[in-house]
């Protein structure tokens, strides 16, 4: 290998392409994503910011053990390009979004987080000029990061500044001021040992609720459970504490606070597409005929409820950036996805916020004068699964999905190819898609009854088994 090719190989290894996901950057901390990577990212983003009239950028981080070092390197890269960094410290992603929308100092924000992934992961969520950077725009960062050379305009600019500021108080104040709770609630808050815990406890205390903290002390190793509320095993402790404390409901947040899953007073899991049914009814009472956005993993019952209440159901690809963009493009007052991202775009500013979604739920319970269990009991029932994760190598999952898309037949089904394969029958549907955040294929099923559920799973096993040898171990 000659010197030029060797240097190109080193640069490629330092900046691995596989961490550039569809809607954020995410990978293994220290190996795939390290301080060198973060500094180069800061330089590449600094070049883009420097080409605009706005040279300031908010930076926040979650509680992961690797986040402090990555945030420091990111800020170094940004300031080296003349950017003025406003350091928000250890906060939630919604609080950073709030700063971008309400702080008045910048339309740019970068969050150091791997969201719901285990403690060994980290990454970055990026907002430039109020737009979430995703897809092709993320891919365009790769050559700039590998080059590592200053942009022509950067050399003429002096080093940027660094200031630290607290946005949490302003964020909590704003939610309290726009909320309307006519009574108090007894809650259990599972913060997953990450940043949402202390902020959520402060917020609900301010709203007059009796909030019992569970795993709300910060520990970036996540010693009690992974910060992923979409996984049922991570909700067991919360379910137990809700019933033991005789609380009205429990709230489970992910690692950066933009997702929520709710537990009823009877200990039942309320999945986010069920929350969306509740929210859709409420929002459509004020916005008749509006588009309501949801992802391909969501229940077919959600679309039915949206239509019944005078709305227009809009299905989109899974991913917070996709849902957020669809909400914005359609001027929709509400969007959400099964993983727990809920986007209010009426009194709120169209970004996903697990804490604010929880407050909106309490408002609805106040207005309806019902418990959450009573509200859930009113919804049309179905048989459904949680997300089923089938491990697949990171560098093989998308190619495997392409193979499945051409090789599987699913006769007499309506097939939606928006994101993976959503296969719909009159009484059931199944989904298989490649995860954008982990080395997995994701499956989910819903049916009118157990017989229909068994039939759709049997169909999937038959169609997938020629391509996935161990599919019977998962469905």
Q: Which domain holds residue 72?
A: 3-165
CA distance 159 to 137: 26
Please check whether residues 137 and 250 belong to one and the same domain: no
Per the structure, how many domains does the chain have? Answer: 3
13 falls in which pLDDT band (50, 70, 90)? low
- Of the candidates 104, 130, 165, which is a domain's last residue? 165
CA distance 340 to 203: 19
Whether residue 4 has pLDDT greater than 50: no
Please check whether residues 16 and 156 belong to one and the same domain: yes
Q: Please confirm, yes or no, whether 116 is among the known catalytic residues.
A: no
Q: What pLDDT does 158 receive?
A: 75
Residue 401: inside a domain, yes or no? yes
Instruction: Report whether 160 contacts 83 (CB < 8 A).
Output: yes
- For the chain, give the mean pLDDT: 94
CA distance 227 to 218: 12
Which of the residues 40, 281, 320, 341 is marked catalytic?
341
Q: Please confirm, yes or no, whether 146 is among the known catalytic residues.
A: no
Residue 348: inside a domain, yes or no? no
Residue 92: inside a domain, yes or no? yes
Which of the residues 26, 39, 360, 422 is marked catalytic?
26
Please check whether residues 98 and 7 belong to one and the same domain: yes
Please check whether residues 225 and 145 belong to one and the same domain: no
Whether residue 149 has pLDDT greater than 90: no
Please check whether residues 24 and 102 belong to one and the same domain: yes
Please check whether residues 84 and 132 belong to one and the same domain: yes
Please check whether residues 102 and 173 belong to one and the same domain: no
Q: What pLDDT does 243 receive?
A: 97
Residue 81: inside a domain, yes or no? yes
Task: Provide the CATH number for the domain around residue 251.
Answer: 3.40.120.10
- Of the candidates 224, 247, 270, which is a domain's last residue? 270
Please check whether residues 125 and 238 belong to one and the same domain: no
Please check whether residues 20 and 88 belong to one and the same domain: yes
Q: Please confirm, yes or no, whether 115 is among the known catalytic residues.
A: yes
Residue 20: inside a domain, yes or no? yes
Please check whether residues 159 and 197 belong to one and the same domain: no
pLDDT tens-digit map of 313-325: 999 999 999 999 9
pLDDT tens-digit map of 59-113: 999 999 999 999 999 999 999 999 999 999 999 999 999 999 998 889 999 999 9
The label of the residue with tokens 């994503």 reads 33
pLDDT tens-digit map of 31-64: 999 999 999 999 999 999 999 888 999 999 999 9
Q: What pLDDT does 26 receive?
A: 96
CA distance 408 to 401: 10
Which of the residues 66, 67, 115, 435 is marked catalytic?
115
Q: Quick one: average pLDDT of 197-213?
A: 98
Q: What pLDDT does 9 receive?
A: 43
Burial of 269 (0-12, 13-18, 19+ CB in 10 A): middle
Please check whether residues 157 and 29 belong to one and the same domain: yes
Please check whether residues 65 and 117 belong to one and the same domain: yes
- Of the candidates 270, 295, 310, which is a domain's last residue? 270
């Amino acid at each position: 290998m000659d010197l030029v090719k060797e240097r190109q190989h080193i640069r490629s290894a330092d900046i691995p392409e596989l961490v550039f996901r569809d809607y954020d950057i995410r990978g293994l901390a220290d190996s795939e994503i390290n301080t060198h990577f973060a500094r180069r990212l800061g330089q590449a983003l600094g070049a883009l910011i420097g080409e605009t009239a706005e040279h300031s950028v908010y930076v926040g981080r979650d509680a992961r053990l690797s986040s402090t070092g990555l945030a420091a390197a990111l800020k170094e890269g940004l300031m080296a390009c003349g950017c003025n960094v406003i350091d928000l410290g250890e906060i939630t992603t919604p609080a950073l979004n709030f700063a971008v929308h309400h702080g008045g100092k910048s339309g740019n924000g970068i969050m150091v987080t791997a969201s719901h992934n285990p403690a060994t992961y980290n990454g970055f969520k990026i907002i430039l000029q109020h737009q979430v950077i995703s897809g092709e725009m993320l891919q365009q960062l790769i050559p700039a990061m590998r080059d590592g050379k200053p942009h022509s305009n950067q050399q003429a600019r002096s080093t940027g500044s660094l200031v630290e500021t607290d946005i949490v108080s302003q964020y909590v104040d704003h939610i309290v001021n726009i909320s309307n709770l006519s009574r108090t609630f007894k809650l259990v808050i599972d913060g997953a040992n990450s940043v949402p815990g202390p902020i959520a406890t402060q917020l609900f205390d301010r709203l007059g609720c009796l909030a019992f903290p569970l795993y709300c002390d910060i520990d970036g190793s996540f010693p009690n459970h992974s910060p992923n509320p979409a996984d049922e095993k991570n909700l067991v402790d919360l379910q137990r504490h809700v019933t033991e404390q005789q609380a009205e409901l429990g709230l489970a947040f992910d690692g950066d606070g933009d997702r929520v899953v709710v537990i009823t007073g009877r200990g039942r899991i309320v999945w986010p597409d069920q929350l969306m049914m509740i929210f859709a009814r409420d929002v459509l009472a004020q916005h008749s005929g509006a588009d309501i956005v949801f992802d391909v993993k969501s229940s077919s019952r959600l679309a039915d409820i949206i239509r019944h209440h005078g709305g227009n159901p809009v299905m989109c690809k899974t991913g917070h950036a996709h849902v957020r963009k669809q909400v914005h493009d359609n001027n929709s007052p509400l969007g959400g996805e099964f993983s727990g991202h809920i986007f209010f775009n009426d009194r709120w500013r169209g970004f996903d916020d697990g804490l604010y979604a929880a407050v909106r739920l309490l408002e609805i319970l106040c207005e309806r004068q019902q418990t959450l269990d009573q509200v859930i009991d009113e919804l049309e029932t179905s048989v459904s699964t949680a997300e089923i994760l089938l491990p697949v190598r990171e560098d093989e999952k998308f190619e495997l999905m392409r193979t499945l898309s051409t090789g599987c037949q699913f006769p007499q089904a309506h097939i939606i190819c928006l994101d993976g394969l959503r296969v719909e029958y009159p009484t059931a549907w199944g989904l298989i898609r490649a995860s954008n955040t982990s080395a997995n294929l994701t499956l989910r099923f819903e049916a009118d009854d157990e017989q229909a559920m068994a039939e759709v799973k049997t169909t999937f096993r038959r169609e997938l088994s020629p391509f996935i040898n161990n599919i019977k171990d998962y469905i």
